[in-house]
Structure 1
Amino acid sequence: MSHYEKLQQATASHRQWLLDTPVIRRALEGNITRDIYLAFLEQAYHHVKQTVPLMMACGARLPARLEWLRGALVEYIEEEYGHQEWILDDIRAIGGDADAVASATPAPATELMVRYIRDVIAYDNPVGFFGMVHVLEGTSTAIATQAAEQMRDGAGLPANAFRYLESHGSLDIGHLAFFEEQINRLEDPADLQAIIDSANMVYRLYGAMFRNLQRAAGDVASHEGLSHALV
Structure 2
Amino acid sequence: MSFFIRLLEATDTNRREMEGIPAVQDMLHGKMSRASYEDFLLDLYHVVWHFCPIMATAASRCPDQFIDVRYHLYHNIEDEKGHENLVLDDLGAFDIAPATVRASQPSAAVQAMIAYNYHSAERIHPCCVLGMLYVLEIVSSVYGGQVAGAVAGGLGMELPKGFSFLDSHASMDVEHMARLRTLLQTIEDPAVQELVINAIQMNFYLFTQFLSTNRA
Which TM class, normalised by the smaller chain length?
A: over 0.9
Q: Deviations over 1:152-202 (max 9, x none)?
A: 112113531111000111111000001000000112112211111011111
Q: Which residue of 2 aligns with 1:99?
A: 99
Q: Which runs of 4+ in 1 moved over 3 A?
A: none
Stretches of structure 2 that go unaligned for 5 or more consecutive residues are none
Number of paired residues? Answer: 215
Q: Which residue of 1 aligns with 2:83?
A: 83
Give the counterpart letter for 2:186 in structure 1. Answer: R
The CA distance in 2 between the partners of 1:149 and 1:105, in whole Å, is: 27
Describe how 1:138-153 pairs up with structure 2 within 5 A: 138-153=138-153
Q: What's the C-alpha RMSD, in Å, of the aligned pairs?
A: 1.1
The CA distance in 2 between the partners of 1:116 and 1:90, in whole Å, is: 27
Normalization by structure 1: what TM-score? Answer: 0.90
Is contact 2:69–2:127 with CA below 8 Å preserved after alignment? no
Give the counterpart letter for 1:137 in structure 2. Answer: E
The CA distance in 1 between the partners of 2:177 and 2:209, in whole Å, is: 23
Describe how 1:202-217 pairs up with structure 2 within 5 A: 202-214=203-215
Is contact 1:135–1:203 with CA below 8 Å preserved after alignment? yes
Residue 80 of structure 1, CA deviation:
0.5
1:11 matched to 2:11:
yes
Q: Deviations over 1:119-171 (max 9, x none)?
A: 11111111011101111110111111011111111211353111100011111
Identity of counterpart residues, as a percentage?
Answer: 29
The CA distance in 1 between the partners of 2:197 and 2:78, in whole Å, is: 25
Is contact 1:34–1:157 with CA below 8 Å preserved after alignment? no
Secondary structure (helix, strand or coil) at the match of 1:94 reads coil
Is contact 1:110–1:209 with CA below 8 Å preserved after alignment? yes
Residue 96 of structure 1, CA deviation:
2.2
Is contact 1:30–1:153 with CA below 8 Å preserved after alignment? yes
Q: Which residue of 1 aligns with 2:130?
A: 130
Stretches of structure 1 that go unaligned for 5 or more consecutive residues are 215-221, 223-231
